[in-house]
Amino acid sequence: MKNILLAIIFVIALSSVEATAQIFIPRPPVVNIPVVNPAAMQIRNQVFRNMINGAQKGGAKSARKYPSAAGAGDFTMFKPRQENYLPKLLAQAGKGNADEQRQTEQFFNSQIELYEYIATDHGYPANDVAFALVCFIGHNYEFYYDLWDMENYKNPWAKRARNNAKQSMKVTPELDRAMYDQFKELLSAKTEFKKMTDKQKQELTETLAIMHGIAYTAYNKSIEDEDEELHQQARDLAKNNIEEVLGIPINKIKFTLSGLEIQ
């Protein structure tokens, strides 16, 4: 990740959403979240920088099949504990009263539950950093470019995308699979990533899930309410999510059957 202070990202995201949407979205303080310590961030910086370097070389050379449960040779999966790590820490870092902290914790847990539902619905393991990245990158990309399918909602922005032929930019299930296989290969080859504990991998997955969930919530709410201002804020947030985590402009990303490539 590129010089990312998670609390700052959350404040930027939530302050823009709260101004318009009539939904509960908490506002964590601008502090360095205790669970994301400098040593862990250094490891993650190195891992993702190397991963992007691999993507620039053309992505994974071949698709691989991986087991659905963590095994000795599967380094992107982790053994999750029953309780999430980040929601309680984020809630406790705030200055609200006990009820506000409870609502904050519930909100962040709901974002992780959303991610877990998406993983199950798409046939991927939720306890896998590789899929957390696929979900995070693919969905934020589709939010920004108005490619998100909303079957039961009025979605004038998605119609606009269809009209200008941007639908060819959609991240299809085949592209998801290619990206997943690529991330499995690239991350599993990195010594720094292999050294990460189950706890660190779960924290990283929860971080991606929460950042994804905030953008998802704002984007969907903007469409439900036909709120163009909130919609633009959600798109800006999605763009910021990708560029902060990957450290590259969103318009440099290309999805191919070899995985994620950097143009």
CB 211 within 8 A of CB 240: no
Above pLDDT 90, what percent of the chain?
37
Question: Does residue 216 form part of some domain?
Answer: yes
Q: Give me the mean pLDDT over the 3-21 stretch.
A: 35
CB 153 within 8 A of CB 244: no
What total number of domains does the chain contain?
Answer: 1
User: What does the alpha-carbon distance between residue 242 and residue 108 come to, in Å, rounded to a whole number?
Assistant: 19
Structural element, H or E, at residue 260: strand 259-262
Q: Is 4 helix (H, G, I), strand (E, B) or coil?
A: coil
Question: Does residue 78 form part of some domain?
Answer: yes
Question: Does residue 1 form part of some domain?
Answer: no
pLDDT number for residue 246: 84
Residue ranges making up the domain that contains 243: 6-262
pLDDT band at 244 (very low <50, low <70, confident <90, very high): confident
pTM above 0.85, yes or no: no
What one-letter code names the amino acid at 60?
A
